[in-house]
Amino acid sequence: SQQGEEDPQALSIQEGENATMNCSYKTSINNLQWYRQNSGRGLVHLILIRSNEREKHSGRLRVTLDTSKKSSSLLITASRAADTASYFCANGMGGSEKLVFGKGTKLTVNP
């Protein structure tokens, strides 16, 4: 299976705290993407980091990529109750439009 893995599977924190989610993948990549899924909804793209980048920021999101370890992390700073969702990483493979998704981290932010 090419499917990656997110870690942890579930994370519960208090509002205002930071949340860190990790992702490992198995193949060589063009990019690594993070998506959010609210309950009963489709996935929404958050941020994309290219294989030649090491860190990227977008608002309260910070993503790192370590291609030597085939891993990425997503940091959400100053979390809010509205950040409660499942978060998925997906790796885009060379020469293909396909994305391989992990099984996600379920984040709960308690008010």
Partner 1 sequence: DAGVIQSPRHEVTEMGQEVTLRCKPISGHNSLFWYRQTMMRGLELLIYFNNNVPIDDSGMPEDRFSAKMPNASFSTLKIQPSEPRDSAVYFCASKRWGQQNQPQHFGDGTRLSIL
Give the interface with partner 1 as residue ranges (CB under 8 A): 3, 30-31, 33, 35, 40-45, 48, 50, 88, 92, 96-104
Nearest to 6 by CA among 39, 45, 36, 50: 36
Cβ proximity to partner 1: between 41 and 69 the closer is: 41
Residue 85: CB minimum distance to partner 1, A: 13
Cβ proximity to partner 1: between 3 and 110 the closer is: 3
Nearest to 23 by CA among 94, 97, 86, 98: 86
Cβ proximity to partner 1: between 7 and 15 the closer is: 7
